[in-house]
Amino acid sequence: MQKKGILIVVSGFSGAGKGTLMKKLVSEYEGYALSVSMTTRKPRENEIDGREYYFVSREKFEEVIASQGLIEYATYVENYYGTPVEYVEEELKAGKDVLLEIEIQGALKVKEKFPSALLLFVMPPNIDELKNRLKQRGTESDEIINKRLKRAGEEAAGIEAYDYIVINDDLNECVKSLHQIIAAAHLTPGRNALFIEEFRKELKQN
């Protein structure tokens, strides 16, 4: 049976540790491809163009929207963020599980376009931890941190649209659970319809 790639959406409040989790998942296990988004946000000090994001101007972003170059896009705290279509399609075709680390509006659009996408929501163990992580990052002003916390409140209202929540308490444990959830998702009947159909046909021939 040929393994077909799953499109996996990972969302979570700003400061929940999604970026670190994704990088670790990709480096520890085979078969994953991490999509790099495009954004109009300015790079943080440790970020590299083409690694964390493709950092572009508003004009460039709007050109890419117009040329249908994005699977989805959204605005988040005053900036555009979007998923380039080409990489995702290529990697899925190659049988990879493609990870999109995106916010909730984008996640819902992906689910509409790709009903078999798996939606995961990463949560910190508690609210104090969330605030600490946002502040410790030290890259955003108090004003932006407050906007991100407000946005977290809005996103919390939509968690039921996701298939699973994952609690990011211990990084290693969390990466392991993510991988296990994805391995289980590969085994749902809906994602194996062809295999099941073939099996049924062969059974009838007996």
Residues near ligand 5GP (CB under 6 A) are 14, 37, 41, 72-74, 76, 81-83, 101-103, 105-106
Q: Which residues pair with 8 in a beta bridge?
A: 99, 118
**Nearest approach, Cβ of residue 19 and ligand 5GP (Å):** 7
Closest residue to ligand 5GP, based on beta-carbon distance:
106
Nearer to ligand 5GP, 146 or 188 (CB): 146
**Nearest approach, Cβ of residue 199 and ligand 5GP (Å):** 38
Nearer to ligand 5GP, 31 or 84 (CB): 84
Nearer to ligand 5GP, 105 or 168 (CB): 105
111 neighbors 117 (Cβ within 8 angstroms): yes
Nearer to ligand 5GP, 5 or 40 (CB): 40
**Nearest approach, Cβ of residue 44 and ligand 5GP (Å):** 8
Nearer to ligand 5GP, 6 or 71 (CB): 71
Going by C-beta distance under 8 Å and a sequence separation of 6 or more, which residues neighbour residue 54?
36, 37, 38, 39, 84
181 neighbors 29 (Cβ within 8 angstroms): no
**Nearest approach, Cβ of residue 65 and ligand 5GP (Å):** 12
**Nearest approach, Cβ of residue 109 and ligand 5GP (Å):** 8
